[in-house]
Amino acid sequence: DELSIPLGTIKTRLRMAIIQLRKYFN
In this predicted structure, what is the pLDDT of residue 17?
Answer: 97
Domain count across the chain:
1
In this predicted structure, what is the pLDDT of residue 21?
Answer: 95
In this predicted structure, what is the pLDDT of residue 20?
Answer: 96
User: Which residues of 1-26 form beta strands (DSSP E)?
Assistant: none
Phi, psi angle pair for 25, to nearest 5°? -90, -10
In this predicted structure, what is the pLDDT of residue 2?
Answer: 65
Burial 1-26 (b: 16+ CB within 10 A, else e): eeeeeeeeeeeeeeeeeeeeeeeeee
Domain span holding position 14: 1-26
pLDDT, tens digit, 9 for 90 and up, residues 1-26: 667 778 889 999 999 999 999 999 87
